[in-house]
Structure 1
Amino acid sequence: MFGQLYEPVYLFMERGGEVLYAILGLVFILWLLVLERVGYFLFVHRSYVKAAVAEWEARSERRSWAAHQIRQDLLSTLSYELSSNMSTIKMLIGLAPLFGLLGTVYGMIEVFDVMAFLGSGSPKAMASGISKATIPTMAGMVGAITGVFAQSLLDRYIKREKIRIEDQLTFDH
């Protein structure tokens, strides 16, 4: 059963060329970081917010300039923790299509090598290079599109969570 699943993936990777392995690694790291963020939100973030709210609520006064600075420090720390790894995720999303473009150039070089060796009269001989030119482009774009979707969901959650945290750290009236 595993062989039936493995063979199409193996053929796809072979047809796409060496650059496809780099794209696979890049997308794997991208999704590892996305899952790290999801794990942080599910298992760690709530305890950080509870600790920050408890620290804020334990203050006897919350109106002075010092209290405002402490609140700002709590908000900044939580905001930093929320946004951790997001710039790396955005960078990897931007790199995925560029790696696909690299695969396109690599495959086209192979097409031109075949044309130089056999002439332009053998389309069958050029098909392998054309495949190596298009498959990495598609893989890079698919990786980037899935990453953009995940990144937009994470960004939306982070924005809502920042507002929710600010509402919890209220000033005395």
Structure 2
Amino acid sequence: MIYLMELWESIRDFLGTGGDVLYIVMGTLFLMWALMVERFWFLTGVFPKVKQDIITKWNAREDTTSWYAHKIRDAWISEAAEKLDARIFLIKTCVALCPLIGLLGTVTGMIAVFETMATQGTGNPRLMASGISMATIPTMAGMVAALSGMFFATRLEARVKRAKNKLIDSLPHH
């Protein structure tokens, strides 16, 4: 319990030194990871059942060679692909937004530095250092958040593509 309290205090200190923009980076990061965990859960837990239902329905059909049968097959594949692709665009958007939000933190931190310089002058480097810290920490946090998501989002996209191809291969074209 003490470890968790110390961890929370170090996170709170980090958020304090980076400014309010870090809360937005943190929210975007949590949203991105929640969506990725949901998609991995869907791929491993839900989609195999959906795939098996489609294969069972296809194999139960008497007619698998006519034009109508192929259109039904294509519709089932399209519905499954739509379920697989759900929220992938939102995940990629979150990955792309993280560095941009970090850059917003850079701008707000530099504004704080310029305000300090305007009101206090350039003689107090300690006051300027807090603004520079506010400018660099959100950028770093945004980049780290984007990098953490980019690898897994790419893997997730590859798994979705592989799942689509396996479904197509499971429904023979006669």
> Fold match, TM over 0.5?
yes
Structure 2 match to 1:15:
17
* Counterpart among 113, 122, 125 of residue 127 in structure 2: 125
Deviation, 1:23, is 0.7
Moved over 4 A (4+): none
Q: What is the rounded CA distance, in whole Å, between the counterparts of 2:173 and 2:18 in structure 1?
A: 59
Q: What is the rounded CA distance, in whole Å, between the counterparts of 2:37 and 2:119 in structure 1?
A: 47
Deviation, 1:162, is 1.1
Structure 2 match to 1:168:
170
CA RMSD of aligned residues (A): 0.9
Identity of aligned residues (%): 42
1:46 paired to 2:76: no
Q: What is the rounded CA distance, in whole Å, between the counterparts of 2:97 and 2:8 in structure 1?
A: 27
Deviation, 1:171, is 2.2
Which letter maps to 2:121? G
Q: What is the rounded CA distance, in whole Å, between the counterparts of 1:145 and 1:4 in structure 2?
A: 26
* Counterpart among 97, 100, 103 of residue 102 in structure 2: 100
Unaligned runs of 5+ in 1: none
Give the alignment's TM-score, normalised by structure 2: 0.96
Structure 1 match to 2:38:
36
Give the alignment's TM-score, normalised by structure 1: 0.97
Q: What is the rounded CA distance, in whole Å, between the counterparts of 2:142 and 2:70 in structure 1?
A: 46
Deviation, 1:3, is 2.2
Which letter maps to 1:86? I
The alignment covers a number of residue pairs equal to: 172
Structure-to-structure mapping, 1:74-85, within 5 angstroms: 74-85=76-87
Q: What is the rounded CA distance, in whole Å, between the counterparts of 2:55 and 2:27 in structure 1?
A: 40
